[in-house]
Chains A and B, each alone.
Chain A
């Protein structure tokens, strides 16, 4: 692997790569995941799920299951409180609590195969599974729709009888309400300039239609939730989640409890990528616990994870881009129809807002539709909505460059967006690194290395993601030996305990190993948004820095007491408190930490960040492939991912995030899909059949970190985790087009698709 950073590091801790604090626990199996939890008297829950993609529930008879030995309770929708139809913000995710409750237990209809219908709590998991077979459900099976095209056809079966384009979970930018029932939940439109007139002045115009399939985040650890509803009315939930506070809000709203009566304890997380923000089983585990008076644990199996959690949208898209012969883009028109799954809420808004961001355009039109289909409701997945839209735009950009006879990066550079340019929303870009990333591509060894041989090709693509801000709380405590405790509300998905510790260590001038970080539950730390939106190292880092600065100010007061001077006379430089009144008055941070008990007592400080200026980020990828024209197999020969990471916080983390995003994107491009039969059954809901790339499938992913500091963070840190999944779909597609001379516009680009494309070419 080649790894390159674009600048010299001016920090002592930031920008290095210390071993993560949780490494030993992770590799020795000592880390506590949700499935490891064992509570006295604990029962085991199992969910009965719909065998139909769309059906009305006529009757549920649970009597036989309830009478089964070892079964302690059974619940159905009649046990769920009536939940208010309310759209609310619980972190970085919008949610309608009534619909979230219906995800936990179907109401009068099941809307996808795998929709929860009833839940059993029993003495062990085997009894619970056996009891499911004793529950009798009478369904009236209804016709289903599985794609946005089917769903939008006139006369298509309606998932929600009350849904018009503005009736449920309505969005600001929705279309006019015609009053006609529809599976289109919302419509967005973003326009600027005069697209038609601009196309008329173009020397080259390329338009293509694209289709992508629903894909899953593919986290290894399945969803798990354990609930104990204590006799005093307080409910505790232990779960694998990206955001404990969001789960607390969802569960309290769903069950009609005050938030103060719900404590959520986040366990270690074995992968999330956006899919572990909402709770699927917390409310049902809680109700079963209330019924039985005992703790109840529910764990999804892999099939349930695929069929009943939240993947990301399949799509139907069109992109049309025009340019003059000197390489200036005249106009861009994009149409995005995204599957929402069974309930409204696809990431089409994000796709629409991000897809043209690498380009400074005056004339554009982006239409987005959020369309319900009989599949699981989609959830966030790493830069949600952006990779598919980038596939459409970046493929057409590549083809326009090809038709103009221009190098694709030169073409992008000629139209690149810069600080001061406007996004399609009209918002002005602050300091960004689009040009820097594209120049780094041009200067890279990979881009300048020849690729020779038959059926080999090279592709490039760009991508952009907003990155998140949101509030975070951090608490710093000073120990008498000079070590420091750090508690935050941010669940650690990818080593953020260490990335946050590094920021505290940098401020204090000590080592990251001298910081002891932990993640608090909702009773022990202040409100913190979910670990999503590439925000944790950025936003929680600011909270940790702020709390550390309070500590330094307090320690100056302690030193002032000892030196009989004023705190203003004391500076803190290189981990040393120094008096300006007497050059002999010096304490190292550690020395002064040992004197706290004699100068007023122990010291701790907390702070909450809520940053307003968030550093968005660009990435650019280069992909070389070889296509076997006999079998259709695509081999990735070489892959380089470049990204503006701002100031790299933990260099190895930045590299691994970029590599991980690239690998997930390559899997999405080449292999992954929810393969549905006509009756709405996912036919490949195992990791054996849902083919994600392994280390054997890919070369090492080279990375080049481009460091354009973010103006919104004291060290210039930007979010890193999401951007790298945006470019790969198009980079791989463009490489395949370069290799075989055919543009593939449907994902996945698996061997069957390649062979079909080659056949059509002939």
Chain B
């Protein structure tokens, strides 16, 4: 099953462990399943006004940038990380 890494503060606020194993599917399905297991994670990840991941967040799947947002299909062996979006300067 895909592995979702839960950021430290979200672990504290929802009681989720560092890693959660969720059946494969779209990223949206995976976040929904995360919410069922650990209520509060949906609000931590999703924009409250629009149907999208918070713009401050970057989602890395197997260490690579995700350009398909919530419709990204996650493979059986994939790792998902939610990390702060980073701006560059040069």
Contacts and interface: CB of A to CB of B under 8 A. Distances in A.
Contacts of A86: 49
Contact of A188 (B18, B54, B63, B84): B84
A722 B62 CA distance: 24
A188 B7 CA distance: 9
Contact of B9 (A87, A188, A614): A188
A534 B5 CA distance: 27
A92 B86 contact: yes
Contacts of B63: 427-430, 613
B89 A427 contact: no
A425 B88 contact: no
Contacts, number: 136
Contact of B89 (A273, A430, A614): A273
A446 to B, nearest CB: 25
Nearest to B60: A427
Contacts of B60: 425, 427
B83 interface: yes
B9 A612 contact: no
Contacts of B49: 86
B86 A427 contact: no
A684 interface: no
B84 A384 contact: no
Interface string B29-59: 0000000000000001100010000111100
Given A425-B83, A427-B83, A612-B64, A171 B90 contact: no
Contact of A94 (B66, B79, B87): B87
A304 B15 CA distance: 48
Given A274-B90, A427-B63, A94 B5 contact: no
A189 B7 CA distance: 8
Given A188-B84, A350-B84, A426-B5, A721 B67 contact: no
A89 interface: yes
B83 A353 contact: yes
B5 A274 contact: no
A349 B86 contact: yes
A572 to B, nearest CB: 30
Given A190-B7, A430-B63, A172 B81 contact: no
B9 A173 contact: yes
A381 B79 CA distance: 31
A429 B10 CA distance: 23
Contacts of A467: 88
A534 B89 CA distance: 7
B13 to A, nearest CB: 6
A466 B86 contact: yes
> What's the interface size class on B, roughly?
20 to 34
A382 interface: yes
A383 interface: yes
Contacts of A760: none
A267 to B, nearest CB: 19
B9 A493 contact: no
A665 interface: no
A175 B9 CA distance: 7
Interface residues on A, range: 35 or more
A94 B55 contact: yes
A535 B88 CA distance: 9
A187 B9 CA distance: 9
Contacts of B89: 217, 273-275, 380-384, 532-533, 722
Contacts of A188: 9, 84
A172 B44 contact: yes
B45 to A, nearest CB: 7
B83 A722 contact: no
Contacts of B5: 425-426
Contacts of A468: 86, 88
Nearest to A349: B84
Nearest to B90: A721
Contacts of A612: 64-67
A274 B88 contact: yes
Interface string A261-294: 0000000000011110100000000000000000
A279 B8 CA distance: 35
B55 A88 contact: yes
A611 B65 contact: yes
Interface in A461-478: 465-469
Nearest to A720: B90
B49 to A, nearest CB: 8
A176 interface: yes
B86 A350 contact: yes
A191 interface: yes
Interface in A613-645: 613-614
Contacts of A273: 89-90
Nearest to B13: A176
A610 interface: yes
A331 to B, nearest CB: 15
A428 to B, nearest CB: 5
B56 A171 contact: yes
A181 interface: no
A274 B89 CA distance: 3
B6 to A, nearest CB: 9
A380 B87 contact: yes
A182 to B, nearest CB: 16
Interface string A166-180: 000111111110000
12 contacts: A87-B56, A94-B85, A172-B56, A172-B84, A189-B12, A190-B8, A191-B8, A272-B90, A383-B88, A427-B83, A533-B89, A612-B64
Interface of A: 86-89, 92-94, 169-176, 187-192, 217, 272-275, 277, 347, 349-350, 352-353, 380-384, 425-430, 465-469, 493-494, 532-535, 610-614, 661, 721-722
Interface of B: 5, 7-10, 12-13, 18, 44-45, 49, 54-57, 60, 62-67, 79, 81-90
Q: Give the 9 A-B residue pairs with the shortest CB-CB distance, closest first.
A: A533-B88, A274-B89, A349-B84, A380-B89, A612-B64, A721-B90, A191-B8, A426-B5, A93-B87
Given A94-B87, A349-B86, A429-B63, 15 more contacts: A87-B56, A94-B85, A171-B84, A173-B9, A190-B7, A273-B89, A352-B84, A425-B5, A427-B60, A428-B62, A468-B88, A493-B90, A612-B65, A661-B90, A721-B90
